Amino acid sequence: MWFTLGELRPFREIVEMRVNPPTPFFNPIVPRRTVLRAGALSLFGLGLPELLRARDIYDPKERKHAKACIVLFMWGGPAQQDTWDMKPDAPDVYRGEFKPIQTTVPGLQVCEHFPLLAKRARELCLIRSMTHNDVNHTTATHHLLTGRPAPPGSLADDFPNYGSVLAKLGRGRGPLPPYVSMMPVVPDGAPRFVEESHGQGAGILGPIYNPMRIDADASKPDYRVGEFTPQADVTTEQLGDRASLLRSLDKLDRKFHSQPELEAMGTHYARAFSLLSTPASARAFDLSQEPRKVRERYGMTRHGQSVLQARRLIEAGVPLVTVFWPNDGITNVSVYWDTHNRNFIDLKTRLCPVTDQAFSALLDDLKARGMLDETLIVWTGEMGRTPKVGQAVPGGAGAGRDGRDHWGKVFTSILAGGGVKGGTVYGASDKYAAEPALNPTPPTDLAATVYHLLGVDPRSEIRDRLGRPHLLCEGKVIEAILK
């Protein structure tokens, strides 16, 4: 269902195909599968504001809301007791191999492999009592990215992602997309979380509010996101003529084909033309504009450079960017944070260090630029891991002697910036990190809090593409963690 800027055909080819379509009535600009993937482009957050009745500013006299949000999504489910919720007094089979270290917040300890984040704990709010009952990666992802359990059916039946709602509200400015997903494609990588996970897009709002997805690997020297420079033989006047022709043909298409995918595609091309004519906006995708020292501070990894790209985008006016943890593309290791085997090896060598560097760099960078107070950061996975090492659960995928299986009953999510009270811990797990012991927090409460911090009333009514009303969020705002 995804359609990225990198898949655009040259404009000359597009125009020629539309002027000379293969059939009298339907014009397949791209293969049908690619058309159906037109989802990921909410280069599409414009128009039809009546579909969502939420106010752009929620209780503006009460508090200043965050202008943007970066979601760092740790696909696979990080082990809570081996990262943010250490249990040093539990038996070996529960506590694992790692030692806790003291942070800058008295009494707050985290994993020894988060030394940089430990020094920045005063900026963090740890929610240690996240809980749900889903141990399926793809549907649990929906729950965390929308605040709703995944419905049966196709991705079109999903509740909308935070970014899609912001796109619907008209957040953002200029030609940049209002909602972007960083999702690097890795050769020979496992695709199951990428292509099948729910909650990534606009769902019931329709594909016009889906994200622009960036598949490119930001750590590569040749990293590029689409073609933002007109061909040398195309003048400004010719580019304008092509844009005008495309708009006319799109109107004709819509007259004969009232299809959401085609409407979304037309909006995408319109914004692509706009980006071509505004190089300053396109530079937000150019990481070479960053000093080498800054890039190295984030880490020259797929994740680190994706996080840096997210900072550049929100600085340029994009309201929400989701950075999905990439598959490392390495054989014989756990996929993403899904550590059924090699839990301690992979956390120590390839997961925690990369997270520690990129997340801490983001905090420092936003703070230095005066952006942390107006940027909400959400670090989370879709679930946690089993209390016992080697424990298997019904519906999970098992665990080796050095692994942990899926576990949704308790896990940790992190918030920072954007009106969140730093240096705090909300909720608690029991002595085995198996169940919430204090303030159980379902994903719907996290969603309500995210919307509230972004200035959106969680109790707003949202209407789907058929005009049916839905409550935006059924959760309660976590007032205790707000400034």
Please state the domain extents for the chain: 5-481
Q: What is the mean pLDDT of residues 310-321?
A: 97
**Strand extents, DSSP E, 131-271:** 179-182, 212-214
Q: Is the pLDDT of residue 17 over 70?
A: no
Q: What DSSP string runs through 298-361?
A: H-SSHHHHHHHHHHHHHHTT-SEEEEEPPP---TTS-BTTB-SSSHHHHIIIIIHHHHHHHHHH
Q: What is the mean pLDDT of residues 455-471?
A: 94
What letter does residue 160 receive in the DSSP assignment?
P
Which band of pLDDT confidence, cut at 50, 70 and 90, is reported for residue 13? very low
- If you average pLDDT over every residue of the chain, what do you get? 82
Report, in this order, helix, strand and coil percent for the chain, each rounded to 5: 35, 15, 50
Q: Exposed/middle/buried for 25, CB within 10 Å: 0-12, 13-18, 19+? A: exposed
Which band of pLDDT confidence, cut at 50, 70 and 90, is reported for residue 332? low
Q: Tens of pLDDT along 373-400?
A: 999 999 999 999 999 999 999 999 999 9
In this predicted structure, what is the pLDDT of residue 222? 92
**pLDDT above 90: percentage of residues in the chain:** 66
* Contact indicator for 141, 429 with CB cutoff of 8 Å: no
Q: Is the pLDDT of residue 453 over 90?
A: yes
Instruction: Answer positive or negative: Cα dihedral of 414, 417, 420, 422.
Output: positive
In this predicted structure, what is the pLDDT of residue 295? 98
Lowest mean pLDDT among 81-85, 330-334, 349-353, 465-469: 330-334
For residues 469, 454, 65 and 414, what is the CA-based torsion angle, rounded to 10 degrees?
A: 140
CA 68 to chain centre: 12
Q: Which of 247, 180, 248 is nearest to 209 (CA)?
A: 180
Instruction: Answer positive or negative: Cα dihedral of 324, 328, 329, 332.
Output: negative
Q: Is the pLDDT of residue 426 over 90?
A: yes
The DSSP bridge pattern shows strands 124-130 and 109-111 to be unpaired
* Vertex 120 angle, CA 118 and 123, to 5°: 125
Q: Is the pLDDT of residue 226 over 80?
A: no
Residue 129, SS3 per DSSP: strand
| Residue carrying the six token digits 């943890």 | 325
The residue ranking higher by pLDDT, 300 or 273, is 300
Q: What is the mean pLDDT of residues 179-193?
A: 76
Token pair for 152: 């049966």
Dist CA 350 CA 373 (whole Å): 30
Q: What is the mean pLDDT of residues 211-217?
A: 92
Q: Tens of pLDDT along 153-162?
A: 888 999 999 9
Which band of pLDDT confidence, cut at 50, 70 and 90, is reported for residue 349? very high
CATH class of segment(s) 5-481: alpha beta
Task: Kindly report the length of the chain.
Answer: 483
pTM: 0.82
Query: Phi and psi at residue 69, in whole multiples of 5°?
Result: -140, 135
Which band of pLDDT confidence, cut at 50, 70 and 90, is reported for residue 172? confident
Q: Tens of pLDDT along 87-119?
A: 999 999 999 999 999 999 999 999 999 999 999
Token pair for 69: 């949000």
Q: Each residue of 260-283: b (16+ CB within 10 Å) or e?
A: bbbbbbbbbbbbbbbbbeeeebbe
The residue ranking higher by pLDDT, 231 or 74, is 74
Q: Which of 320, 301, 305 is nearest to 171 (CA)?
A: 320
In this predicted structure, what is the pLDDT of residue 37? 34
Q: Each residue of 361-378: b (16+ CB within 10 Å) or e?
A: bbbbbbeeeebbbbbbbb
* Contact indicator for 21, 181 with CB cutoff of 8 Å: no
Q: What is the mean pLDDT of residues 350-379?
A: 98
- Stated as kind and residue range, the H or E segment containing 281 is helix 279-282
Would you tell me the crossing angle of helices 236-256 and 11-19 to the nearest 10 degrees?
A: 40
Query: Phi and psi at residue 50, in whole multiples of 5°?
Result: -70, -15
Dist CA 16 CA 183 (whole Å): 31
Q: Is the pLDDT of residue 77 over 50?
A: yes
